[in-house]
Structure 1
Amino acid sequence: MPGRRAAGLGSSLPGGDRLTAEPTVLTGARVVLPDGVVDGGRITVEGRSIVADDPRRPAAARDLSGHWIVPGFVDIHVHGGGGASFSADRAEDILTGVGTHRRHGTTTMVASTVTGELDDLARQAALLSELVEQGDLAGIHFEGPFISPHRCGAHKPSLLRDPHPSDVRKLIDAARGTAKMVTLAPELPGGLDSVRLLAEHGVIAAVGHTDAAYEATLEAIEAGATVATHLFNAMPTLLHRQPGPVAALLEDERVTVELVNDGVHLHPAVLELAFRSAGAGRVAFITDAMDAAGFGDGRYLLGPMEVDVTDGVARLVEGGSIAGSTLTLDTAFKRAVTVDGIPVTDAVRALSVNPARLLGVYDRVGSLEPGKDADLVVLNEAYDLVGVMRRGQWVVEP
């Protein structure tokens, strides 16, 4: 976007910028706080944190009149970006994807893998866990291989397997405490036992890429499943006599539903139906982004599968299935407010509050409150991103 300049991205990314040497006050903007919108609000940043405002204390002031300040976005389902995959075997490539999404406002993200051999996924988890431990990622999400061959989407069918608890445990152990979520099809052999295993180990069990009936989905929720992986996509259609997983996942207040708000994965009317049905407190907007996000059209690999990206839409070369997205969360935010008619405060819940709570990190991120990390996004009046701060550093300086 013209008129912006990118600053350093943090400890492990190249070109790290300095932390603010003295408190900085951001003034004049419309600030979205947990209890509503404050016109002409003030956010005081000291070091990496938001601190209580003290007008008597000397501080550098930054006038952001005519702008919005919202919490940094939290993405619980993203595979890569900037031409790089989170399944790469080099930390530098993974950090390229991290940096791309940070510049689009995602200050907290979980790295999603793609179906592969168990040993390969375990090796990927070992590398990703190092980046979690040093603060670049918030955790690991295994999407596959424990999914239905009938709803595999852009996952290679020959690499799929049933979710036997021993195999699920192997990936959890490989992640060394950094596994946050596993997507599986609960109707497969071992599915319910694996959901229980994940719940016992504090890992989110997500229902997705599934052919489960309504009743089987209810069983999975009772066993501990709490997320619907990209609701509607890669699962049976909602029918009046066969409601399938969609109805079960929408109706249960314990379930957070992922929605890909790119105008491709879901018709706007379907997105509105899901948002209104679940309510603003149970929606997490995700990108499901692959390498092309923030990079451009071309030929890519998603795991072992070849993908063509044309006009920003990613599809498998063989078969034409949608293969993730090229979405970034700043675009999802703007679309939610300007196209879908979602109030700004509800969009903030779907992009920041809800996913932070789901990950168990709401004590540090997800809202603009004293004591939390200074993770925030600055938007202009048209809801275009013009600034990003992460942990007190400008990633994109307005």
Structure 2
Amino acid sequence: MLPAVGRIVTPDGVVNGTLVVEGDRFEGILEREGEPTGWVLPGFVDAHCHGGGGYSLANGDAESARAAAAFHASRGTTTLIASLVSQTHGFLMDATKALTPLVAEGVLAGVHYEGPYISASKCGAHAKEVLRDPDIAELTELIEASRLDEGASAVKMVTIAPELEGALEAIEFLDGHGVVPSIGHTDASYEETLAGIDAGAQAATHLFNAMRAFNHRDPGPIPALMNDERILSEVIADPVHLHPGAMRFAFDLSLPAWTLLVSDAMDAAGLDDGRYVLGRHEVDVKDGVATVAGTDTIAGSTITLLDAFRNAVRLGGQTVEAASQMASATPAELLGLREVGAIETGKYADAVVLDDDLNLVSVMRRGAWLQV
């Protein structure tokens, strides 16, 4: 529940007081005197998540997706995108049809296809046998299969490697249809990356990970993505995916307005070590690190966005306010989600309450307190 007087993070700064909520919306902030205890943040917005709590978002099952969303909501992620991994077109069609009603219901905020239009040499945990060049006919069918009552599509983002044949045309197509083209799982050169940005790409899928490494004579995609204000970059803020120094580098160069924290969580998030499944691969989790069984290839994460937020502060040297922006406002802006991402009059009453040590106290979603 809310503290008597808490530090409330708003778009205009930190306000000491308590929230005023009417129904499922914020009505304002009641400023109060006294020593504030803890933090009140806008609910987290995760643009890249494959599952959690033992439930998958990537398997195309609606009830599993509902349970995964509930798990992440209990950890502060009140807005969640379901990320599907590379699969056949038929599988993606079926999964999209199964998940679209959850978007209409408000359980999910959309669907993200992380593949199959990605580089085989940078595919990570994606199955190579289903990778292929971008296909506008396939994308058209997926967008049409995900139409909501108001005509908008449930498809929010598609990860594409810009060096593939037909990629630039696909990026232009997605941008023209209100879907975020994101550059990732790519072996693109610096110049090929810039061409993708010029075609309409708006994001970078987990910056640094599954990308051609930086070289001062062959810089590749990383500096092209980080130096362009048209790109908002995902960062998986855990020490498995990024050294803390790389986190600091990304945060300090890109700044919170151009950086979004993502979990990239698989269904093992929140659970013990063991064997799990992601897409077409079995995944082993040991000491919280997920790898494709029998290999050292990282297969998503086992963190939540709350963990990423804390890591951004504790390992990445960010203020609570900056980390909050990267976990809420910036992803909401990227995805065009105007009713979430900030504590502001008229927006959905989604809030995360933490104590002074950033431990989770309570979560509000759409004006209702959740069990945590």
State the TM-score, normalized to the length of structure 2: 0.95
Following the alignment from structure 2 to structure 1, what is the Cα–Cα distance between the partners of residues 60 and 181? 26
Does structure 1 retain, via aligned residues, the 8 Å contact 2:3–2:37? no
Does structure 2 retain, via aligned residues, the 8 Å contact 1:132–1:139? yes
Is 1:301 the counterpart of 2:277 in the alignment? Answer: yes
Is 1:335 the counterpart of 2:311 in the alignment? Answer: yes
**How many percent of aligned residue pairs carry the same amino acid?**
47
State the partner residue of 1:74: 45
Q: 1:163 aligns with which of 122, 134, 137?
A: 134
Does structure 2 retain, via aligned residues, the 8 Å contact 1:206–1:226? yes
Q: 2:23 aligns with which of 39, 44, 47?
A: 47
Does structure 2 retain, via aligned residues, the 8 Å contact 1:334–1:384? no
Q: 1:125 aligns with which of 76, 87, 96?
A: 96
Does structure 2 retain, via aligned residues, the 8 Å contact 1:285–1:350? yes
Is 1:203 the counterpart of 2:174 in the alignment? Answer: no
Following the alignment from structure 1 to structure 2, what is the Cα–Cα distance between the partners of residues 52 and 259? 31
Q: 1:117 to 1:328 in 2, by over 3 A?
A: same
Does structure 1 retain, via aligned residues, the 8 Å contact 2:60–2:96? no
State the partner residue of 1:351: 327
Q: 1:136 to 1:200 in 2, by over 3 A?
A: same
Is 1:390 the counterpart of 2:365 in the alignment? Answer: yes
AA aligned opposite 2:228: D
Q: 1:267 aligns with which of 226, 230, 243?
A: 243
Quote the offset at 1:73 in angstroms: 0.2
AA aligned opposite 1:120: F
Q: 1:226 aligns with which of 202, 227, 232?
A: 202
Following the alignment from structure 1 to structure 2, what is the Cα–Cα distance between the partners of residues 53 and 247? 41
Does structure 2 retain, via aligned residues, the 8 Å contact 1:26–1:64? no
Matches within 5 A, 1:41-190: 41-52=17-28, 65-176=36-147, 177-190=153-166
Following the alignment from structure 1 to structure 2, what is the Cα–Cα distance between the partners of residues 282 and 74? 15
State the partner residue of 1:36: 13
State the partner residue of 2:297: 321
State the partner residue of 1:379: 354
Corresponding pairs, count: 366
Does structure 2 retain, via aligned residues, the 8 Å contact 1:125–1:175? yes
Quote the offset at 1:91 in angstroms: 2.0
Does structure 1 retain, via aligned residues, the 8 Å contact 2:3–2:38? no
Does structure 1 retain, via aligned residues, the 8 Å contact 2:59–2:279? no
Q: Which ranges of structure 1 fall in alignment gaps of 5 or more residues?
A: 5-24, 56-60
Following the alignment from structure 2 to structure 1, what is the Cα–Cα distance between the partners of residues 52 and 181? 25
Secondary structure of 1:205's counterpart equals strand
Q: What do you get for the CA RMSD once the two structures are aligned?
A: 1.8
State the partner residue of 1:7: none
Does structure 2 retain, via aligned residues, the 8 Å contact 1:80–1:94? yes
Secondary structure of 1:52's counterpart equals strand
Following the alignment from structure 2 to structure 1, what is the Cα–Cα distance between the partners of residues 343 and 321? 12
Q: Deviations over 1:192-251 (max 9, x none)?
A: 000000011000000000110000000000000010000000011111111100010000
Following the alignment from structure 2 to structure 1, what is the Cα–Cα distance between the partners of residues 18 and 84? 39
Q: Which ranges of structure 2 fall in alignment gaps of 5 or more residues?
A: 148-152
AA aligned opposite 2:78: T
Does structure 2 retain, via aligned residues, the 8 Å contact 1:78–1:109? yes
Does structure 1 retain, via aligned residues, the 8 Å contact 2:6–2:18? yes
